[in-house]
Amino acid sequence: MSNHHVMGTATPKKDSYLVVDGCLINSFEPNLYSLNDIHKASGGSASKKPAFYLRTLTAKRILNALPGERWEKLHVIRGGVLQGTFASQELVFAYALWLSPDFYVRVLSNLPFISDLRNGEAK
């Protein structure tokens, strides 16, 4: 199975997109990324769905520790073209680590901010 395809149908903003292993990770609002797309990019193990991660004590503690309203950190869309679970970068990192350490490193290395730092283009 090839991971080189586009997930979902949203058009990400230039400054908020993320591509992991050739898979476009859709965004909702400027700073929320699709955990469903992250899950698919990781291989889509049935035991590692976003809903299972969000039930963990670690995920609950991270949500509580992050500043802001809950909807700014985690947003679930049911139905429609852009349905799924969208989370802040912090939750994306934590979810990626929960999926696997190797996948976590690949997610980090594909973040626009990290790429900009490597290329000397950080703002």
11 found inside a domain = no
Asked if 28 and 12 touch (Cβ cutoff 8 Å), the reply is no
What is the share, in percent, of the chain residues with pLDDT greater than 90? 54
d(CA 80, CA 101): 33
25 found inside a domain = yes
76 found inside a domain = yes
Q: Transcribe 31-80 into DSSP letters.
A: TEEEHHHHHHHTT--GGG-HHHHHTSHHHHHHHHHSSS-HHHHEEEE-SS
26 found inside a domain = yes
Domain that holds residue 55: 18-115
65 found inside a domain = yes
Q: Considering the entire predicted model, what is its pTM?
A: 0.77
Structurally, the chain folds into a number of domains equal to 1
Tens digits of residue pLDDT in 8-67? 434 444 445 678 888 888 888 878 999 999 999 999 999 999 999 999 999 999 999 999
